[in-house]
Structure 1
Amino acid sequence: MTTAKDIMHTGATWIPAHETLDRAAQLMRDHKVGALPISAKGAQDRMIGILTDRDIVVGCVAMGHDPSRMTAGDLAQGTPRWIDSEAGVEMVLEEMQTHRIRRLPVVENKKLIGMISEADLAQHLTEEQIAGWAEKVYARG
């Protein structure tokens, strides 16, 4: 059985909730990623959300806010989703489809070990699996 750990990319980097959005953008650039898990203040391993490059643009810049004054925690919303490293690909797809998300942190022994993105799915799944995933994640309504 192919697992979440098999298809994820390693090296996911946390952003502390108190860090500014300009720093988050720099980390995304440096690590060549479009999303960072947000950690709770003082708790490196407790995820309170995921910050995306789109969040910075839409939730900060487009609203006229200063990214050097807004923090990652300011944009943390909802309940963060994640998947256990040993979960099968079917569970990965179900979690992403049900919650209409394009990035999914992978956790092992309560620690973040990687992230699954659209690019990871494209590299490891069949065309049929990708088409089904995209139809549900990108569906309107």
Structure 2
Amino acid sequence: MSLSRFEHGAVSAELTESVTDVARRMREFRVGCVVVTHGARAIGIVTDRDLVLRVMAEARDPATTVVSDVVTYDPTTLQQTDSIETALRLMRERGVRRLPIVRHDGKVTGIVTADDLTVMLAAELSDLGAGIRGNVEATESR
């Protein structure tokens, strides 16, 4: 399966932005993370959890704390040509829930999240179940 369904852009931020601005952007776009970019290349990621643990829990001022203070550098990424199976494997092996999708030159084209994959796989299983239910009589066993 292709990653193209997840190439709808990703919400991004620059290192010099305040975390207040980033949190507002997350709220506006209803996302749990932003991809931190330099130019259009992914260099890091900031999650809603990062904001809680690295800003709120440390009683930092979100208006003066900048992304470079809370970013996780070097995010695990996927190439546009990778498969959903690769995304699942990387999430499992690296213990991450979000994977920016990048072109060969490193520019971000989208993001795939564990939630995205859960919804997609649940829909696939539902379709499979409906197909089985529609083609098998209740008394028949296969």
Shared fold, TM over 0.5 = yes
Match of 1:36 among 28, 34, 37: 34
Identity of aligned residues (%): 28
Question: CA separation in 2, counterparts of 1:16 and 1:78?
Answer: 12
Structure 2 counterpart of 1:100: 95
Cα separation, 1, equivalents of 2:7 and 2:95: 20
- Say which structure, 1 or 2, has more relative contact order (CA 8 Å, 6+ apart): 1
**Structure 1 residue 75 and structure 2 residue 74: aligned?**
no
Alpha-carbon separation, structure 2, partners of 1:86 and 1:29: 30
Write out per-residue CA displacement over residues 25-54 of structure 1, whole angstroms, 9 at most, x where no aligned residue. Answer: 010011110100112xxx322222100111
Question: What are the superposed Cα offsets for residues 40-97 of structure 1, whole Å, 9 maximum, x if unpaired?
Answer: xxx3222221001111111101111001111111112342111012211111111111
Question: Normalising to structure 1: TM-score of the pair?
Answer: 0.79
2:39 alignment partner, SS class: strand
Structure-to-structure mapping, 1:55-134, within 5 angstroms: 55-109=50-104, 110-125=106-121
Q: Are the equivalent residues in 2 in contact too, given 1:4–1:88 (CA < 8 A)? A: yes
Letter in 1 for 2:113: S
Show structure 2 runs of 5+ residues with no match.
126-142
Find the aligned partners of 2:9 and 2:74 in 1 and give their Cα distance.
22
Larger Rg: 2
**Corresponding position: 1:53 with 2:52:** no
Q: TM-score, normalised by structure 2?
A: 0.78
Shift of 1:9: 5.6
Alpha-carbon distance in structure 2 between the residues aligned to 1:116 and 1:3: 11
Q: Distance in 2 between matches of 1:24 and 1:126?
A: 31
Question: Within 2, Cα distance between the matches of 1:9 and 1:67?
Answer: 30
CA–CA separation in structure 2 for the residues paired with 1:84 and 1:9: 11
| One-letter amino acid of the counterpart of residue 85, structure 1 | Q
Unpaired runs of 5+ residues, structure 1, are 130-141
Bigger CA drift: 19-28 or 79-88?
A: 79-88
